[in-house]
């Protein structure tokens, strides 16, 4: 772990504004796209880069924004890695988001997010909060191989249930689905039925497969050699150096996804899920604009 002073913290515009407090990750997921060389890491991926001035930068950025919006975090680096327990930067940034009446769409694989459930509840009551989690396999032994340094899928589902109990909406990333490894109807249906049980709002999938590129591919293939002898050769024969590696069962699994989600009122179109993640509640935006123009302070709790 090492510290840097970042120049900026927010990226994007409109309804899709994101931040990364950390760079790199300690969870060790074998398929992680963030390892790809296109992201130009100049340090080992496990040597977490910490933007120590992230809270100060976020405070300045939010105060300068006239229009409220959703702030996304977790797309590149998990905001609840092991170091967050000690550093608390994610929590401080969430407090700043709450105090400035913005919304948050936060993505993690870790049950450490439960530490901040009261704060997330406050944000959801004053604006909007969406919690996102990746679910790849319901098999505990396989999960320990694919995602070795983070809580298993069953625990993540418990987290989703606790969020639902607070009225905090949740979205699941059902990705990546690894060809010949977790691409079974039994695995997909079990995960989706659990999503139904805990009231997930949406499920995001990009065609039941995974993507590999330079940096990410080498790490993934090394893991296949350790845990699935002969699988790397099978991948190379079928996919070569392709970027997109769809499961041979992609069509079948996609139909299953849409059937279960459609029958239970769960969003399953990625564009619809992203719209939900980026939409800031209009009534809160109107209240904040009213305050800025000198009107009486509104009660953002509705």
Rg of the chain, C-alpha, whole Å: 20
Least confident of 98-107, 134-143, 209-218, 282-291: 282-291
Indicate the Cα dihedral angle 115, 118, 124, 127, nearest 10°: -100
The rounded distance, in Å, linking the Cα atoms of 103 and 129 is 6
Q: Which two tokens stand for residue 102?
A: 């913005």
Task: Look at residues 134, 54, 141 and name the one whose alpha carbon lies nearest to residue 96.
Answer: 54
Structure tokens at 254: 């996609």
Sorted by where each starts, the structural domains of the chain and their CATH numbers stand as: 2-277 (3.20.20.70)
Q: Which of 46, 52, 80, 61 is nearest to 11 (CA)?
A: 61
Residue-wise pLDDT for 102-114, tens only, equals: 999 999 999 999 9
Q: Summarize the confidence of residues 262-280 as an average pLDDT.
A: 97
What span, in angstroms and rounded, lies between the C-alpha atoms of 150 and 29?
A: 9
Q: What is the pLDDT of residue 13?
A: 74
Residue ranges with strand state E in 64-138: 70-73, 103-108, 129-134
The string over 236-269, giving b where at least 16 C-beta atoms fall within 10 Å of a residue's C-beta and e elsewhere, is: eeebeeeeebbbebbeebbebbeebbeeeebbbe
Distance of CA 91 to the CA centre of its chain: 16
Query: Per residue in 215-269, pLDDT tens?
Result: 999 999 999 999 999 999 999 999 999 999 999 999 999 999 999 999 999 999 9
- Over the chain, what is the mean pLDDT? 93
Give the pLDDT confidence of 118-148 residue by residue, as tens digits.
999 999 999 999 999 999 999 999 999 999 9
**More confidently predicted of 282 and 249:** 249
CA 278 to chain centroid: 13
């Amino acid at each position: 772990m090492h510290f840097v002073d970042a120049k900026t913290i927010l990226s994007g515009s409109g309804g899709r504004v994101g931040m990364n407090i950390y760079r790199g990750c300690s969870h060790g997921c074998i398929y992680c796209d963030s390892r790809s060389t296109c992201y130009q890491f100049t340090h080992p991926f496990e040597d977490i880069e910490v933007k120590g001035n992230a809270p100060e930068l976020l405070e300045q950025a939010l105060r300068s924004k006239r229009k409220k919006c959703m702030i996304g975090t977790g797309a590149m680096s998990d905001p609840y890695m092991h170091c967050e327990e000690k550093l608390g930067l994610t929590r401080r940034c969430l407090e700043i988001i709450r105090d400035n009446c913005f919304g948050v769409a936060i993505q993690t694989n870790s049950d450490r997010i439960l530490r901040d459930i009261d704060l997330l509840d406050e944000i959801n009551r004053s604006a909007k909060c969406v919690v996102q989690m990746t679910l790849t396999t319901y098999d505990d032994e396989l999960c320990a191989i694919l995602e070795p340094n983070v809580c298993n899928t069953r625990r993540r589902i418990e987290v989703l249930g606790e969020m639902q109990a607070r009225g905090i909406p949740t979205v699941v990333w059902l990705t990546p689905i690894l060809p010949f490894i977790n691409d079974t109807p039994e695995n997909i249906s079990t995960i989706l039925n659990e999503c139904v049980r805990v009231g997930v709002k949406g499920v995001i999938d990009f065609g039941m497969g995974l993507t590999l590129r330079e940096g990410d591919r080498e790490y993934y293939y090394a893991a296949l050699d350790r845990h699935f002898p002969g699988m790397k050769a099978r991948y190379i024969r079928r996919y070569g150096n392709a970027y997109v590696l769809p499961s041979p069962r992609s069509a079948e699994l996609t139909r299953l996804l849409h059937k279960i989600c459609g029958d239970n009122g769960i969003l399953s179109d990625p564009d619809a899920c992203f719209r939900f993640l980026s939409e800031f509640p209009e009534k809160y935006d109107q209240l904040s604009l009213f305050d800025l123009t000198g009107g009486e302070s509104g009660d953002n709790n509705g």
